[in-house]
């Protein structure tokens, strides 16, 4: 039902109607317990996803470049930097290619978009994945808990981006992240929503602005904030000499084995 929270199962209160794709009048609800905001059951998604990347997402490349700088520092200092990593809902493979260029063994997975930029490095379910990244995907989840559980089955460490919604929620015309023009955003999380998810799966949650780490590791929250912030402003440059880029090795691998998955 539309008035039952898709995260915690508690009752939700009607907020307002918003117009998506210039024509669909859509109801929005806010959970009375965790603050999660959801649309009514989305009937417009086929139309919204006629193009897998929406027309107005002009920040896609910049988001990947900045995100990679932060993830480089996070993985180098807090995780097994020699492990395998997965970019979930990886789109054209841009983030995977960037991270491999930095020397991390990244793979991509996206059933809806062709991996054009990291060909040959698609996810193998038999691999042990140290951490999953997924950028700007949580707000697209029609069944968030089911999707989160799919990712947790791959790794108990998830680094993701999504803009948190305030509580009380802003009106429809006051917040760009509702995505009126493309209609793809249907799930909006508060800080309390993320805390509920972490507790549900006995994990820890750390956040800095739009970046979040759901993890089995207990880490210092200030260290997390420092690594994410300092990474994008230059700390990654200190790290890269200690990592060997996979640009050349990937080229040689693909020359020898053009159909290789890894």
Give the Cα separation of 60 and 64 in Å (integer).
6
CATH no. of 60-162+210-256: 3.40.50
Determine which helix (DSSP H) or strand (DSSP E) holds 62, and give its type and residue range.
helix 60-78
Taking only the tens of pLDDT, the chain with its 262 residues reads 789 999 999 999 999 999 999 999 999 999 999 999 999 999 999 999 987 666 677 888 999 999 999 999 999 999 999 999 999 999 999 999 999 999 999 999 999 888 999 999 999 999 999 999 999 999 999 999 999 999 999 999 999 999 999 999 999 999 999 999 999 999 999 999 999 999 999 999 999 999 999 999 999 999 999 999 999 899 999 999 999 999 999 998 898 876 655 5
Give the pLDDT confidence score for residue 56 in this predicted structure.
73
Reported pTM? 0.94
Report DSSP letters for 192-219, one per residue: HHHHHHHHHTT-EEEEETTEEEEESS--
Segments making up each domain of the chain, as ranges: 60-162+210-256
Angle in degrees, CA 243, 215, 9, rounded to 5: 145
Taking the CB of residue 258, how many other CB atoms lie within 10 A of it? 9
Taking the CB of residue 25, how many other CB atoms lie within 10 A of it? 9
Give the pLDDT confidence score for residue 261 in this predicted structure.
55
Give the Cα separation of 35 and 38 in Å (integer).
10
Give the Cα separation of 40 and 4 in Å (integer).
10
């Amino acid at each position: 039902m539309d008035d039952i929270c898709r995260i915690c199962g508690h009752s939700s209160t009607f907020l307002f109607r918003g117009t998506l794709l210039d024509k669909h009048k859509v109801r929005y609800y806010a959970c009375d317990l965790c603050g999660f905001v959801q649309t009514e059951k989305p009937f417009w998604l086929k139309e919204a996803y006629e193009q897998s990347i929406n027309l107005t997402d002009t920040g896609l490349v910049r988001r990947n470049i900045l995100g990679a700088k932060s993830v480089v520092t996070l993985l180098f200092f807090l995780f097994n930097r020699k492990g395998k990593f997965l970019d979930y809902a990886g789109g054209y493979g841009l983030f995977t290619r960037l991270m491999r260029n930095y020397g991390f063994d990244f793979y991509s997975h996206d059933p809806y978009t062709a991996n054009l930029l990291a060909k040959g490095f698609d996810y193998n379910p038999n691999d042990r994945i140290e951490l999953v990244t997924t950028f700007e995907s949580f707000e697209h989840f029609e069944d968030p808990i089911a999707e989160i559980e799919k990712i947790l089955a791959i790794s108990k460490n998830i680094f993701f981006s999504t803009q948190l919604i305030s509580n009380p929620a802003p009106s429809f015309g006051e917040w760009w992240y509702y995505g009126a023009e493309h209609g793809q955003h249907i799930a909006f999380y508060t800080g309390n929503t993320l805390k509920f998810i972490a507790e549900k799966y006995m994990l820890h949650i750390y956040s800095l602005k739009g970046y979040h780490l759901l993890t089995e590791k207990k880490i210092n929250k200030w260290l997390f904030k420092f690594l994410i912030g300092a990474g994008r402003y230059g700390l990654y440059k200190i790290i890269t000499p200690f990592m060997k880029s996979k640009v050349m090795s990937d080229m040689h691998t693909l020359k020898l084995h053009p159909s290789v998955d890894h």
